[in-house]
Structure formats: C-alpha cells, structure tokens
Amino acid sequence: MRANALKMGQKSNGSPGCHPVGQTGCMFCVNCGSTSDDSVCRVCASRATDVVFDSVTPILAGWWSRVGATLLDAVILVVPTLVLVLLLGNLFGEIAAIAAQASYMIILQTQPDGQTLGNRMVQTRVRDALTGHVITRRQATIRWGVVAVYAVLATLPSTGLDSFRFSVFVLAVADCLYPLFNARKQTLHDRIAHTIVVRT
C-alpha cells in the first residue's frame, strides 16, 4: 500500500513521493500521518520520498469563509450576551456572557464535526493541524482564549493606556489578516493552538 502511494505521488508531478493537489500540498507523512512541509518529517524523520498527498485531505478554508463564520457567530452570541447583561447587571452579566461564549466555542469546536453554527453556515470546520482530526478541549480553549484576550484588553479604560490599546488593536488585525500570507491559511491563534480551518 505504501509503495502504491509513493508510485501515485511520483506520477503527479515528477517529484519523488509528492502529490501536491489543491491548497494543502504535501500535507501528511505516509509513515506517521503528521504534517510534513520539509524534506524530512519532523515527527518520524522519514525522508521526503515517503511523503505523499492524501487524496482525502480536505481543502483549507479561504479567508472570506473564515470572516463570514466569525461574523455569524458574533451575531448569534449577541442576543444571549444582552440577555445575561440585562438579567445580571454589567459586571456579573459580562462574566456570564464570557463564560457562555467560551462554552459555545469550545464545546462545538471539539465535537466530531468541529463546527460552530457560523462554521456550519459557511461550510467550514476546525481541525488539528498535525493530524487533521478533531481538536482537543485544550486547543479549543487556546484558540478562544487568544481572541478573548484581544477583546478584554481592548475594553480596558483608556486613561494612560492609549498606546497599549493601539498595540492590541494592531495585533488583533495582524491575527485576522495572517491567513492571507500563511501557506496553511492559519491565523496567529491557529498557529498557537496548532489548528487549521478546512472546508467541509
């Protein structure tokens, strides 16, 4: 089976064992299944001749799809956030809203389909960048946490913190635009959590 996979990879473009189809290219190592962007697999040390494109590897989600999913999730979360603030007051309501948003993102993204409602509407899902499998609770927490930190820091009182808030804003924008310049279309929080977003 492995020999056949290598043979198929060689036919694709003449390079040994590489079958770069679609956006993901030589994404998985045949030996261990991990991502392999270099001449030697970083996990099992297999040579590039052992790396082929898996025909079932999903296509990476585009930037606009990712933006669409984010905006849809934001709209979906507006109503419960307002309800919690009205019922519990500003402080406790905001704390409860943050907990609700965290639960929404973390629980849904760690389900087998890896989709929030926003992801489902634009037909994308979150996956582990190394294996292509469902992400863990830890990964989902990191993904959500990085974005949540941007939001919390941006809402701090502006007195004496204008330059700091501007720095946070620049970092958040860089995170958002990073997929446009990254080969695997990852945001900064994807890279930190070792995740990717793919099309369904």
pLDDT of residue 151: 78
SS (H, E, C) 66-122: HHHHHHHHHHHHHHHHHHHHHHHCHHHHHHHHHHHHHHHHHHHHCCCCCCCHHHHHH
**Tens digit of each residue's pLDDT (9 = 90 or more) over 69-127:** 999 999 999 988 899 888 888 888 888 888 899 999 999 999 999 999 999 999 999 99
pLDDT of residue 169: 84
Contacts of 159 (CB under 8 A, 6+ apart): none
Is the CB of residue 151 less than 8 Å from the CB of residue 26? no
Q: Which tokens hold the place of 65?
A: 């799809």
* Residue predicted with more confidence, 34 or 70: 70
- C-alpha to C-alpha distance for 161 and 175, rounded to whole angstroms: 21
Does pTM top 0.75 for this prediction? no
Residue 187: band (very low, low, confident or very high) from pLDDT cuts 50, 70, 90: very high
Contacts of 185 (CB under 8 A, 6+ apart): 23, 60, 61, 62, 63, 66, 179, 196, 197
Residue 158 has pLDDT above 80, yes or no: no
